[in-house]
Amino acid sequence: MFNKILIANRGEIACRIIRTCRQLGIATVAIYSEADANAQHVLLADEAWLLGPAPARESYLRAGRIIEIAQQSGAQAIHPGYGFLSENEDFAAAVATAGLVFIGPPASAIAAMGSKSAAKRLMEQAQVPLVPGYHGLDQDPATLQKAADSIGYPVLIKASAGGGGKGMKVVESSANFASQLASAKREAQASFGDDQVLVEKYLTQPRHIEIQVFADSHGNCVYLFERDCSVQRRHQKVLEEAPAPGLSPQQREMMGNAAVNAAKAIGYVGAGTVEFIFDTLSGQFYFMEMNTRLQVEHPVTEAITGQDLVEWQLRVAAGEVLPLAQAQMAINGHAIEVRIYAEDPDKDFLPAIGHIRQLRLPPQTAQVRIDSGIVAGDEISPYYDPMIAKLIVHGANRQQALQRMAQALAQYRIVGVTTNLDFLARLVAHPAFAAFDVDTRFISRFRDDLLPAATTPPASAIAALLLDGLLQQSASAEQRRLASSEPNSPWHSSSGWRLNEPYHQTFHLSSGVERHSLNVGFAASGYQSEWSGQPLLFNGQRLPNGELRLQLNGRQFNAEIISLGNEHHVYVDGCHYPMACYDPVLDGLENAETNHNLTAPMPGTVVAVLVQAGDTVEAGQPLMVLEAMKMEHSVVAAAKGTVAEILYAVGERVAEGVELLRLEDVA
């Protein structure tokens, strides 16, 4: 076994590989870009070497420099993780030429699967079932059109060099084929520098089921069952589970054997995944492509098999035989993984960037695992994948796993950057998902349930936010009283007693675009107010862990509020309600004070620019509107001045603290 390896990656997967290395007593060498100097993978590794600036091509894609660092640091092997150089045949070959071990398949196997068309031709010979289609070398538009016509519409045009869903076009009828072909070829050329395409029958209700295979250098090859990755947005996975619900043992065995045949056909060694498209109508499965690396979603396979796939990779790369034979493996229970992304599901899952201010994870147990490379204080930068973490749960069966997942998601707290956590919670709670009425169009089919228009928060969330404010006020009044020379003076009383009128206080809250003013008064047993025409009678206390215990209209429950200035994240009954408090009088003035240098108060999107360069503006005048957390915030001028320059336009995303516009001749 190796005693030192280099990990040519970053983020959660680098941390994940380090964890297994540590267990096996293997020293680790991390590499990092300037943006990642304090990243977890750097801190966890035994040593770390700087590669260069943040952009990947100047850092994590510098193959030559990475091999040099491996040699200088005395590493014997390189683990490429996923993404970056992991499926780059030239890198795999260069590592071997440098006398190091590439922890992955031989360069020839990567090359064989690099082109979807060539891979399909190879698979055809290995008698692996293929989606009916054309994957020939003749790229004459007339040939392709003829092929599409004979396959029957709808068809799917795919870039042969494709990945990440790019260069894919669904064609509904023969009349549209030529224009869609031209468009697919342009996209393929722009994304991959190669405009070769293939044409396939487009399945309208497919599932994505993939088989984990493993081969060693002694001719053994096994499959570690399947993963269902049908829940996708933009042809990309967000949730994966193992085993695939409803798959019969016969289907599993047939797919497993087909995957093993695929791997054997290309002399495969190491961890690989054979992706199949599964037709829910006919129960037929067809080869799609093979990924020649460890997949993001490998932990669900680890959960149901009890195996450590990174350990298997290291053993196989060191020349050992596979730890288990096919007959020694069995499926135990059910596992589900969700990918927690910094992204905005309401904006077509657009990646979000920003600063993670607060991060709290659900408790990790034998059944709840979190793979992450991010801690509170870290920045989600535009340079790399915006995945924050993977949350993996295991249960005795699918229902138990789903319940665990719902519970863990409800306990997750991420504040400071927009995430898909609320979306994931709705996804795993959806009755159609529980019933496994799932195919690759699941998210679009249930879009209205999964991405509901902003709703008015429930009374429980409002009462929690009000109570939090009231308890804070009385805590600070109590502090003032104790600090004063006359602690018993009636002027320090916080009971709300007033000489001439019943005491009440007005709170101004905003949720999405809605604004609400609530009067809160004292009642015999706590506080009273009104919400959506219903009386609110509430009371409660702060628990030692900072959460609130509320009594509301006869029910007791817990709630938690995480505040960032005037922004309040209310967590109650497993849901998250972002809200803000505002003072209708001071609102403009306060904003003016905090934004006197016109920087973005939080990461967000510019939704309006209200002035032009050269305009004279008055103190308090709104200049720009940002949207974050589904709420709008105005950036206002602190003083009279002239707009010198506007640095961002409508639609652009801004990170927290960046300068938005410049004023001059400020009075």
Give the active site residues: 293
**Near ligand ADP by CB under 6 A, which window of 18-26, 36-44, 160-168, 191-199?**
160-168
**Near ligand ADP by CB under 6 A, which window of 156-164, 525-533, 598-606, 658-666?**
156-164
348 or 593: whose CB is closer to ligand ADP? Answer: 348
Determine which residue in the list 74, 141, 152, 165 makes contact with ligand ADP, applying CB under 6 A.
165
Q: Is residue 131 within the footprint of ligand ADP (CB under 6 A)?
A: yes
Shortest spacing between CB 430 and ligand ADP, in angstroms: 19
Determine which residue in the list 235, 360, 447, 555 makes contact with ligand ADP, applying CB under 6 A.
235
The first and second tokens of residue 403, run together, are 């319940």
Determine which residue in the list 53, 74, 164, 306 makes contact with ligand ADP, applying CB under 6 A.
164
Alpha helices in 431-575 (DSSP H): 431-434, 442-445, 447-450, 459-483
Q: Is residue 289 within the footprint of ligand ADP (CB under 6 A)?
A: yes
Q: Is residue 468 within the footprint of ligand ADP (CB under 6 A)?
A: no
Q: Is residue 333 within the footprint of ligand ADP (CB under 6 A)?
A: no
Determine which residue in the list 51, 224, 277, 654 makes contact with ligand ADP, applying CB under 6 A.
277
Name the 3-class secondary structure at 425: helix
Query: Rounded to an integer, what distance in angstroms lies between the CA atom of residue 431 and that of residue 427?
Result: 9
Shortest spacing between CB 143 and ligand ADP, in angstroms: 19
Query: Rounded to an integer, what distance in angstroms lies between the CA atom of residue 299 and that of residue 235?
Result: 21
Q: Is residue 156 within the footprint of ligand ADP (CB under 6 A)?
A: yes
Q: Is residue 266 within the footprint of ligand ADP (CB under 6 A)?
A: no
Contacts (Cβ under 8 Å, ≥6 apart) of 499: none
Q: Please count the residues of this chain forming the interface with ligand ADP, following the rule CB under 6 A.
A: 20
Q: How far is CA 542 from the centre of its chain?
A: 32
Shortest spacing between CB 229 and ligand ADP, in angstroms: 7
Answer whether 343's CB lies under 8 Å from 351's CB.
yes
Shortest spacing between CB 147 and ligand ADP, in angstroms: 14
**∠60-289-204 over CA atoms, to 5°?**
120
Shortest spacing between CB 444 and ligand ADP, in angstroms: 12
Query: Rounded to an integer, what distance in angstroms lies between the CA atom of residue 641 and that of residue 430?
Result: 53
H-helix or E-strand containing 120?
Answer: helix 116-125
Place of tokens 């018993």: 488
154 or 333: whose CB is closer to ligand ADP? Answer: 154
Strand order in the sheet with 169-171: 133-134, 197-201, 155-159, 169-171
Shortest spacing between CB 156 and ligand ADP, in angstroms: 5
Query: Rounded to an integer, what distance in angstroms lies between the CA atom of residue 432 and that of residue 440?
Result: 13
Which residue type is seen at 148? A
Task: Return the bridge partners of 635, or none.
Answer: 624
Shortest spacing between CB 166 and ligand ADP, in angstroms: 6
DSSP state of 490: G
Exposure on the CB side of residue 180, measured as CA atoms within 13 A: 21
Shortest spacing between CB 162 and ligand ADP, in angstroms: 4
133 or 604: whose CB is closer to ligand ADP? Answer: 133
Q: Is residue 232 within the footprint of ligand ADP (CB under 6 A)?
A: yes
Q: Is residue 442 within the footprint of ligand ADP (CB under 6 A)?
A: no
**Near ligand ADP by CB under 6 A, which window of 58-66, 158-166, 320-328, 385-393?**
158-166
Query: Rounded to an integer, what distance in angstroms lies between the CA atom of residue 11 and that of residue 553?
Result: 46
> How far lies 637's CA from each of 175, 608, 620, in Å?
56, 15, 5
Shortest spacing between CB 18 and ligand ADP, in angstroms: 28
Q: Is residue 288 within the footprint of ligand ADP (CB under 6 A)?
A: yes
Query: Rounded to an integer, what distance in angstroms lies between the CA atom of residue 115 and that of residue 137?
Result: 12
Name the 3-class secondary structure at 198: strand
Q: Is residue 162 within the footprint of ligand ADP (CB under 6 A)?
A: yes
Q: How far is CA 88 from the centre of its chain?
A: 24
40 or 440: whose CB is closer to ligand ADP? Answer: 440
DSSP state of 56: G
Site string for ligand ADP, 184-223 (x = CB under 6 A): ----------------xxxx--x-x---------------
Helices 63-73 & 89-97 angle (0-180, nearest 10):
30
Determine which residue in the list 440, 511, 529, 591 makes contact with ligand ADP, applying CB under 6 A.
440
202 or 268: whose CB is closer to ligand ADP? Answer: 202
Q: Is residue 115 within the footprint of ligand ADP (CB under 6 A)?
A: no
289 or 422: whose CB is closer to ligand ADP? Answer: 289
H-helix or E-strand containing 408?
Answer: helix 398-411
The first and second tokens of residue 265, run together, are 């056909």
158 or 568: whose CB is closer to ligand ADP? Answer: 158
Phi, psi of 560 (to 5 degrees): -135, 140
312 or 349: whose CB is closer to ligand ADP? Answer: 349
> How far lies 451's CA from each of 402, 440, 493, in Å?
20, 17, 47
Q: Is residue 385 within the footprint of ligand ADP (CB under 6 A)?
A: no
**Near ligand ADP by CB under 6 A, which window of 161-169, 179-187, 191-199, 349-357?**
161-169
Shortest spacing between CB 164 and ligand ADP, in angstroms: 5
Contacts (Cβ under 8 Å, ≥6 apart) of 580: 509, 510, 511, 566, 567, 568, 631
> What is the binding site for ligand ADP (CB under 6 A)?
131, 156, 158, 162-165, 200-203, 206, 208, 232, 235, 275, 277, 288-289, 440
